[in-house]
Structure 1
Amino acid sequence: MSEASSILKDFENQYVPQINRVLQGLNEDWIDQPILQAAMTYSVTAGGKRLRPLLTLAVLQTYQDQPTSGQLMAASALELLHTYSLIHDDLPAMDNDDLRRGVATNHVKFGAGMATLAGDGLLTLAFEWLSNADVPAEQQLAMIRALSHAAGSVGMVAGQAQDISSEHQQLKIEQLAKLHRQKTGALLHYAVEAGCIMADVKEVERQHLLKFADQFGLAYQIYDDLLDVTSTAEELGKKTHKDAGEEKNTYPGLFGVEGTEQRLRQVVSDAESQLAALNRLTGRDYSLLNAFCSYFRMKE
């Protein structure tokens, strides 16, 4: 295991259990209907890397050491919204998937109607958690505004709409990159932005961190496209080889596996260069954030 992979693994071991404990709060008084509660908690507790809240916490640790309980709650709210997006993405009217994180998708377990409501509940609850988190009110407002932008009609939802409307069409590389920035990259951008907001990061440093986030988000989607054609359903916990069958626009579809791997390496290098520039600017240690780039190497 490389040093970066080891740093990331140690960080995950420290904070994933803490994120999961916060998410267990769904079993308290946040949901007032038993079947809806079962459907919402089913997908939230089905597993997952918790990558997005981890990115927020990594920014916080880089700038201020240990996060507070309020910051943990604010970071974990993003996982609620991310899970909503997965539930809706899997619905019969969307990708019609029956496997997610190695278990039956929400609509297979609870039916399409209840799955839709579970997603709706998680979406709105994410903002309720942000507004209840014990962080300064100006930070709450900034995160609510940023998350609304990232998740909505100029961000993730726009990317999903473009993905659907572009099936059976060949996008140019610039169009595909924009689709990925919205569909996948927007929430990863927000994850880093939320950490910047709560750590009160200076504007010049924030811009480098957000450029890192954007390159990381693009790398994440390229890697996901790559795994769809090189992995098995058992390895990923979801169906593979679906993109080509549905004539979706992907990097392997445009450039082949080898060309996609080359582009992935370049994008990861661009992300790392933003952190190197920040280190030269501030003298601060960004090795924890840099370690997130090892995610793209561990399974190659």
Structure 2
Amino acid sequence: MTQPPFVFDHWASAHQQRVEEVLSRTLPSEGTLPGHLHEAMRYAVLGGGKRVRALLSYAAAELAGASPIAADASAAAVELIHAFSLVHDDMPCMDDDDLRRGKPSCHKQYDDATALLVGDALQSQAFECLASTSAPQALKQVQVLATATGSRGMCGGQSIDLQSTGKLLSREALQTMHQYKTGALIEAAALLGAYAADHTHQQLITTLEQYSQHMGLAFQVVDDILDATADTQTLGKTAGKDALQEKSTYVSLLGLEEAKALVNTLYAQTLQLLASFGPQADPLRGIAKFICERPF
């Protein structure tokens, strides 16, 4: 029987809905003590976002042959970490943004202390999510996510970003910062999905690492382009903040047209990387197209 053609929008919509339901079940209810904290956690996580990292985790899990239940834990864990990072990133001591995903940031909806605790609790919840599975490679998943989250990953990248505000960075320094701040969690998302399978071939891990490095960089370049060109309503967060805070970006460093050309190059390289995988890699191709062709 002939398989129907793959439609990325349908696949993405189904998996976005799936991870939303998983996250809703995973997060404590508002009726569970302490209710105020649990309400704020659910506010920060549910009902918004493109779920790119969850989609990437699901795509890698399907390519590796993982069960849907094991894939759910990986997708939920990476989204919980991402939500924690956004809550903390928006706080006045960090990037100080009043909007996130088109609604008041967590610290604006509640208060600074609650937002701080929300981020802490979401981070713990992510590791509980992974550790609660019976997946044979769960310990490896915990290690991957911990490394991507900590000082050698996302938190380290945020630290470099804060120390670099107002300074002109070289292209190499800028790329290193974003490999930590953005790329590490994107790579972790893919690897978590792959390690959700009972066994994972090293060739697949290597390919996913290379894919994620391309997509992590492309994601950041597109973000820089959108910050410079889109409005606040389109972004769902305050537009033009990079320029106001005198941050080095790919647009300020390369110029708008060269930044766009870099995204196109990364997309072409990614498609070439996946060429030998056939239709099973269509979700990964769709994610790459979505990341690189967000309207700018």
- The 3-state SS of whatever aligns with 1:165 is helix
Match for 1:215: what amino acid?
H
Aligned to 1:3: none
CA gap of 1:148–1:128, structure 2 versus 1, over 3 A, is: same
Q: Which moved more, 1:218-227 or 1:287-296?
A: 287-296
Measure, in 2, the Cα distance between the counterparts of 1:284 and 1:268: 17
Measure, in 2, the Cα distance between the counterparts of 1:53 and 1:233: 24
Aligned to 2:206: 207
Match for 1:38: what amino acid?
E
Post-superposition offset of 1:239: 0.5
- The 3-state SS of whatever aligns with 1:35 is helix
Q: Which moved more, 1:224-233 or 1:260-269?
A: 260-269
CA gap of 1:201–1:112, structure 2 versus 1, over 3 A, is: same
Alignment of 1:136-147 (within 5 A): 136=136, 139-147=137-145
Aligned to 2:257: 258
Judge conservation of contact 1:71–1:133 (CA < 8 Å) in 2. no
- The 3-state SS of whatever aligns with 1:285 is helix
Relative to the length of structure 2, the TM-score reads: 0.93
Match for 1:188: what amino acid?
I
Aligned to 1:243: 242
Given the alignment, which residue of 268, 289, 293 partners 1:294? 289
Aligned to 2:179: 181
Judge conservation of contact 2:80–2:123 (CA < 8 Å) in 1. yes
Alignment of 1:69-218 (within 5 A): 69-136=69-136, 139-199=137-197, 200-218=199-217
- Paired residues in the alignment total 288
Q: Which runs of 5+ in 2 are unaligned?
A: 1-5
* 1:216-248 Cα distance to aligned partner (Å, 9 max, x none): 011000000100011111111111101011011
Root mean square deviation, CA, Å: 1.7
Post-superposition offset of 1:31: 5.8
Q: Which moved more, 1:29-38 or 1:226-235?
A: 29-38
Measure, in 1, the Cα distance between the counterparts of 2:18 and 2:264: 32
Match for 2:289: what amino acid?
S
Measure, in 2, the Cα distance between the counterparts of 1:74 and 1:284: 23
Match for 2:228: what amino acid?
V
Post-superposition offset of 1:7: 2.8
Match for 1:73: what amino acid?
A
Relative to the length of structure 1, the TM-score reads: 0.91
Measure, in 2, the Cα distance between the counterparts of 1:85 and 1:50: 14
1:285 aligned to 2:283? no
Post-superposition offset of 1:29: 9.1
Judge conservation of contact 2:57–2:74 (CA < 8 Å) in 1. no
